[in-house]
Chain A
Amino acid sequence: DAGVIQSPRHEVTEMGQEVTLRCKPISGHNSLFWYRQTMMRGLELLIYFNNNVPIDDSGMPEDRFSAKMPNASFSTLKIQPSEPRDSAVYFCASSLWVSINSPLHFGNGTRLTVT
C-alpha cells in the first residue's frame, strides 16, 4: 500500500494566484481529511469528507478555500486567490469512518509558500 499520496510536495506561488493541492487516499478508506499546520495554530482540521460527501467544513478559514472529492480516490483543496498568510503545510489524511481501530493515515504534506 502506497499510503496517502499528496502532490505537489512543495508549491511556491505569488499572491493572488490560484493554488490546487491534490490528494489520493488509501484505497478502501472512506473518510478523507484536510489539515493545515502553521506555527501559530498548529495542526488544524479544515474539512472532512465521508463517502465523498463533505461533512464538516467549519474549519475552512475563508471562502477563498474550497475542497472537492469527485470520487473515492481523489480530492483537491483549492485556494483562490492565495495570500501570504496561507503559507503552511497542508496535510491530507484518510481513515475508515467511525472506527477507533483505524486511526488517521497522513500523507507527507504539501508545503505552500505564497509570496
Chain B
Amino acid sequence: DQQVKQNSPSLSVQEGRISILNCDYTNSMFDYFLWYKKYPAEGPTFLISISSIKDKNEDGRFTVFLNKSAKHLSLHIVPSQPGDSAVYFCAAPRGPGGYNKLIFGAGTRLAVHP
C-alpha cells in the first residue's frame, strides 16, 4: 500500500533551469510533509517541509507547494545547480506518536547537467 507516491524515477534538468519534483499521497489524514535529499553512499538529509495548513513554503532556492484537494505536492528548485544532483524523497508521518515515523516515496533521481 503505497501511501506516498513519486511516479517519476528520474529527472534531467539543465543547470540554471527549474527542477520540479512531484509527489502524490493517498491518505487525507496526512498533515505534514517533508522532502529529503540523498547523495550516493550517504544517508538522506532533511531539505524542507510543509504543514497542511499552508500551501507553500520557501527556503532559498527550494519551494514546496501543497495542493490538498489534489493530494499532491511538488518541490521546485530554482535555479538548479549541479550540486543538486541527488535522489529526492517525499515523506509523510504515518500516524500518531510523533512526526518522524515517516512513510517515504520511492524517490526521484535528479540530474542537473551543465
A60-103 vs B: 1/0 string, CB under 8 Å?
00000000000000000000000000000001010101111001
B102 touches A45 (CB 8 A): yes
B49 touches A109 (CB 8 A): no
A99 touches B43 (CB 8 A): no
B94-105 vs A: 1/0 string, CB under 8 Å?
100111111111
The residues in B between 50 and 95 inclusive whose CB is less than 8 angstroms from any CB of A are 51, 89, 94
Closest to A9 in B: B41
B97 touches A108 (CB 8 A): no
* Among candidates A56, A100, A108, residue contacting B41 with C-beta atoms closer than 8 Å: A108
Q: How many chain-B residues does the 8 Å CB contact rule pick out? A: 24
Mostly, the A contact residues are: strand
A56 touches B100 (CB 8 A): no
Mostly, the B contact residues are: loop
B90 nearest CB across to chain A (Å): 11
Interface size class of A (residues with CB under 8 A): 20 to 34
CA distance A4 to B41 in the complex (A): 14
When distances are taken between beta carbons in the complex, the residues of chain B under 8 Å from A56 are 97, 101
Closest to B41 in A: A108
Closest to B91 in A: A43
CA distance A49 to B100 in the complex (A): 11
B43 touches A31 (CB 8 A): no
B41 touches A31 (CB 8 A): no
B45 proximal to A (CB < 8 A) = yes
CA distance A95 to B9 in the complex (A): 28
When distances are taken between beta carbons in the complex, the residues of chain A under 8 Å from B99 are 98-100
A109 touches B43 (CB 8 A): yes
Please report B residues at the A interface, Cβ cutoff 8 Å: 32, 34, 36, 41-46, 49, 51, 89, 94, 97-107
Q: List 8 A-B contacts (CB under 8 A).
A: A4-B43, A31-B98, A42-B107, A43-B104, A45-B101, A50-B98, A56-B101, A98-B99
Give me 15 other A-B pairs in contact (C-beta within 8 A), A33-B100, A103-B49, A106-B43 excluded: A4-B43, A43-B89, A43-B102, A43-B104, A55-B97, A93-B100, A98-B99, A99-B99, A100-B32, A100-B49, A103-B100, A104-B36, A105-B45, A106-B45, A108-B42
